[in-house]
Chains A and B, each alone.
Chain A
């Protein structure tokens, strides 16, 4: 990898820059013995030189690596005799792909002609030239930057302040990446969703009862226009989430109560880490368990009492998802219960109420906002959970409230629409982003409300 060597070279240059900057600062005042005549510690002069050597060069490097492929492809397309004017975007894309594969020496699809071979050779030439230019440019800039920094070093030069200022900017940049991520999520999902809503009206998406996202390959195909009514997906998501919460809330809450109030220290010391293990198991493993163990079990159990159960029943997925969420509910409830001042508990016990009466009549009402907040976070987790439902829930969009039938969810559809080869501008793939937008908005609301509840409540008793 040539880029790797370049980066290593840059690192070596940076090390040299540090050393030279440090030495020059000391040399200016006449050796280490006179170091106190410098404004800053000698190392800061080294860091100053290093930053000047490294930062601009790295910036250029990243910029170049990002735009290089696009520029080269544009150059190639321009040089093709008749391509850019007569071909559609798709054909052009395929051609460019073929040229790239040819250049890399891989097999290509379709025939290869002299023009393409020519283009592939030119492609390789461009890449080689670009690599050379990139190497000279970055190394040159690193050298010039380092040299400029070296010349600016004086005994009275405030190197420490400069270095610290730059480090502060880097810290600020790092912390704004969180904001950028949110912004990136919102923008990327929103843009594609808007493109989707141009083709499919928002009202059909939100209120339509029929979901079959196949788009026609031929115009005269049966069922040629897909329909994008997402209500069955919302209903399916709701059904599975409800089943999960029916399992997770009582079990999680009672676990928290038992561990906080009744259990001996030894039981707590064993049960708590075990529940944490439950929280740490990857969701794909839960999915495997749901699909291969729980679903057949639910099916046989249902059939033995004469019920007809689909092999991908909502019940199996919901049950396993509920188990997955137990630790979340129990740990958040545990926090809420422990935040209730012990004076309230002691008062209730002192008046003669039993432990369960204290818990149900005094502590739980006091902890309720925290518990509700925790449950909202758990609901958001269940709605966004993907792997369990992808593996254990169905694909067909049934509008039903029967937990023994197979339903599909928003996340399952996002995965099925986007996995595999797809065109990026068909309504089918754009629909996934519209679903993603719904998912993001709903979970965001639940999270914001849940987190505010949890935090407000905690402050109340602090």
Chain B
């Protein structure tokens, strides 16, 4: 007996070192696994910020533009629609660099400045027609190649044929820098312009407005319908096959790939109901179907957390079941429902696959002004810009992502705050 005990003790002790090693290894693996996710997140945000932060500033070139009356209105009458504002910019550039001669060299010179410069002058004259005849100092956006050079994204030391900017242009940019006529300032165009083929003029306002209109439609539909469905399923539905079916259905819908909702939107809203393509209205409809399950599930959880004693007290005082729900249960469950809705909305804001199906990927310059105007959404804008070959668009894509993540962060913070502030513990 004693010998046997000693034997099993020996067996255990012999294996102990190996088992402890395994334990340590297992623990280390777990730590590494946890670190993988966290490190990825760190790398991810670091790349985004490194790539995207420079898009929030932009290079401007200061030019002395002579708004000569003879040039703008050769026939004596100024027509803002047809006057040659690009010519004014060219004149100013020639005045800045008087020793540039030859057509091709001049053309290279003109390419330092964005094509948006002419529009900017037109807008200035529209606002203040008295400027005609005077010489004004304006700062106009530089072309995206110049912008990239100034920000150091283009290496000027490599061979000329390998970069989108020529040696002569580099020299002009340097002389502009020396004379202090080149400045980098906050990039307002990013937030006030719609999309554009020119990176230096492209902005996210159109996409932001499109996303905004879509979310308005989504909230207006998904919140009331989701809450109503949750109320019915929790408080009124008899335990039957039908309510079981609805329940299974909702859980499944929450896991259906979002692109399938896009197919539904294309077939039902666009082909069958003939609603306009690319419209925030249709996008909002699709997104509300997509977020409905999320809101229903969250609202049901919120209703379940209201203690039965509240219902019983109200029923005991003579309230009808409908009054119990609307006067007592709903107000108490509302914070939880709002939290669920905000989380559903943040999911809707980041969604892009179904929007591709219903034509919201079009190149749209105008900022949408209503629910049926053609529009895109912020994540779709990211997708469109990510596809563009210009180096300057990569920077803007990162900036658009930062803005998108900023909105998502605000929404999730709001959800957390609502939960912390308003939710009652029973």
Minimum CB–CB distance from B144 to chain A (whole Å) comes to: 17
A300: B residues at CB distance < 8 A? none
Q: Are B22 and A356 in contact (CB under 8 A)?
A: yes
The listed residue (B231, B257, B352) touching A171 by CB distance below 8 A is B231
Interface-facing stretch out of A13-21, A225-233, A277-285 = A277-285
Interface-facing stretch out of A81-89, A114-122, A252-260 = A252-260
B228: A residues at CB distance < 8 A? 170-171, 174-175
* A184-B264, A284-B379, A385-B257 known; A415+B356 contact, CB < 8 A: yes
* A178-B293, A287-B386 known; A418+B266 contact, CB < 8 A: yes
Task: State the CA gap A439–B264 with chains docked (Å).
Answer: 13
In chain B, residues 354-411, which have Cβ atoms closer than 8 Å to a Cβ of chain A? 356-357, 361, 370, 379-380, 382-383, 386-387, 394, 397-398, 401, 404-405, 408
Output the nearest chain B residue to A270 by Cβ-Cβ distance.
B38
Task: State the CA gap A168–B231 with chains docked (Å).
Answer: 10
B397: A residues at CB distance < 8 A? 288
Minimum CB–CB distance from A410 to chain B (whole Å) comes to: 9
Size of interface on A: residues with Cβ below 8 Å to B: 93
B255: A residues at CB distance < 8 A? 377, 380-381, 443, 447, 450-451
B320 within 8 A of A: yes
Q: Are B251 and A282 in contact (CB under 8 A)?
A: no
Q: Residue among A263, A289, A327, A419 with the most chain B CB within 10 A? A: A289
A177 within 8 A of B: yes
Q: Are A284 and B383 in contact (CB under 8 A)?
A: yes
B345 within 8 A of A: no
In chain A, residues 253-312, which have Cβ atoms closer than 8 Å to a Cβ of chain B? 253-255, 257-259, 261-263, 267, 271, 274-275, 277-278, 280-285, 287-289, 291-293
Task: State the CA gap A377–B255 with chains docked (Å).
Answer: 8
Q: Are B259 and A177 in contact (CB under 8 A)?
A: no
B27 within 8 A of A: yes
Task: State the CA gap A167–B379 with chains docked (Å).
Answer: 38
B47: A residues at CB distance < 8 A? 289, 293
A313 within 8 A of B: no
A174: B residues at CB distance < 8 A? 224-226, 228-229, 232
Minimum CB–CB distance from B315 to chain A (whole Å) comes to: 14
Task: State the CA gap A158–B405 with chains docked (Å).
Answer: 53
Task: State the CA gap A433–B387 with chains docked (Å).
Answer: 25
Interface-facing stretch out of B96-104, B130-138, B268-276, B303-311 = B268-276
B351 within 8 A of A: yes
Q: Are B231 and A181 in contact (CB under 8 A)?
A: no
A35 within 8 A of B: no
In chain A, residues 65-104, which have Cβ atoms closer than 8 Å to a Cβ of chain B? 66, 69-70
B412: A residues at CB distance < 8 A? 280
* A1-B370, A171-B232, A391-B383 known; A188+B267 contact, CB < 8 A: yes
Q: Residue among B248, B257, B346 with the most chain A CB within 10 A? A: B257
A443: B residues at CB distance < 8 A? 255-257, 260
The listed residue (A184, A259, A356, A419) touching B268 by CB distance below 8 A is A184
Size of interface on B: residues with Cβ below 8 Å to A: 85
Q: Are A284 and B256 in contact (CB under 8 A)?
A: no
Total residue contacts A-B, CB cutoff 8 A:
254
A179 within 8 A of B: yes
Task: State the CA gap A171–B408 with chains docked (Å).
Answer: 31
In chain B, residues 321-366, which have Cβ atoms closer than 8 Å to a Cβ of chain A? 321-322, 346, 349-353, 356-357, 361
A391: B residues at CB distance < 8 A? 383, 386-387
Q: Are B252 and A250 in contact (CB under 8 A)?
A: no
Minimum CB–CB distance from B28 to chain A (whole Å) comes to: 10
A461 within 8 A of B: no
Interface-facing stretch out of B29-37, B53-61, B151-159, B168-176 = B29-37
B424 within 8 A of A: no
B40 within 8 A of A: yes
B346: A residues at CB distance < 8 A? 280
The listed residue (B33, B41, B226) touching A250 by CB distance below 8 A is B33
B237 within 8 A of A: yes
A164 within 8 A of B: yes
B236 within 8 A of A: yes
Q: Are B382 and A384 in contact (CB under 8 A)?
A: no
Q: Residue among B34, B274, B321, B404 with the most chain A CB within 10 A? A: B34
B32: A residues at CB distance < 8 A? 254
Q: Are A291 and B386 in contact (CB under 8 A)?
A: yes
In chain B, residues 212-271, which have Cβ atoms closer than 8 Å to a Cβ of chain A? 224-226, 228-229, 231-233, 236-237, 245-246, 248-253, 255-261, 263-264, 266-268, 271
A326 within 8 A of B: yes
A448 within 8 A of B: yes
Q: Are B259 and A289 in contact (CB under 8 A)?
A: no
Q: Are B44 and A175 in contact (CB under 8 A)?
A: no
A160 within 8 A of B: yes
B420 within 8 A of A: no
B185 within 8 A of A: no
B186 within 8 A of A: no
Q: Are B352 and A283 in contact (CB under 8 A)?
A: yes
Q: Are A69 and B37 in contact (CB under 8 A)?
A: no
Q: Are B274 and A69 in contact (CB under 8 A)?
A: yes
Q: Are B19 and A354 in contact (CB under 8 A)?
A: yes
The listed residue (A280, A352, A440) touching B256 by CB distance below 8 A is A440
B119 within 8 A of A: no
A377: B residues at CB distance < 8 A? 255
Task: State the CA gap A191–B272 with chains docked (Å).
Answer: 12
Task: State the CA gap A98–B356 with chains docked (Å).
Answer: 26
* A179-B245, A293-B47, A356-B26 known; A386+B353 contact, CB < 8 A: yes
B296 within 8 A of A: yes
Q: Are B263 and A433 in contact (CB under 8 A)?
A: yes
Minimum CB–CB distance from A456 to chain B (whole Å) comes to: 13
Q: Are B257 and A285 in contact (CB under 8 A)?
A: no
The listed residue (B22, B237, B260, B349) touching A175 by CB distance below 8 A is B237
* A262-B27, A292-B394 known; A451+B36 contact, CB < 8 A: no
The listed residue (B250, B259, B293) touching A415 by CB distance below 8 A is B259
Shortest 5 CB-CB contacts between residues of A and residues of B: A384-B257, A258-B30, A282-B350, A188-B267, A254-B33
Write 21 A-B pairs (CB below 8 A) sorted by A numbering: A164-B322, A168-B232, A174-B229, A177-B229, A178-B229, A178-B292, A185-B256, A185-B260, A188-B264, A255-B33, A258-B31, A261-B30, A274-B41, A280-B408, A356-B23, A386-B356, A390-B383, A418-B356, A433-B263, A444-B256, A447-B256
Taking A252-B33, A259-B34, A436-B263 as known contacts, 9 extra A-B pairs with beta carbons closer than 8 A to each other, sorted by chain A number, are: A168-B236, A171-B229, A188-B264, A282-B350, A283-B353, A323-B37, A326-B36, A411-B353, A414-B263
Interface residues of B (CB under 8 A from A): 12, 19-20, 22-23, 26-27, 29-34, 36-38, 40-41, 44, 47, 224-226, 228-229, 231-233, 236-237, 245-246, 248-253, 255-261, 263-264, 266-268, 271-274, 289, 292-293, 296, 320-322, 346, 349-353, 356-357, 361, 370, 379-380, 382-383, 386-387, 394, 397-398, 401, 404-405, 408, 412
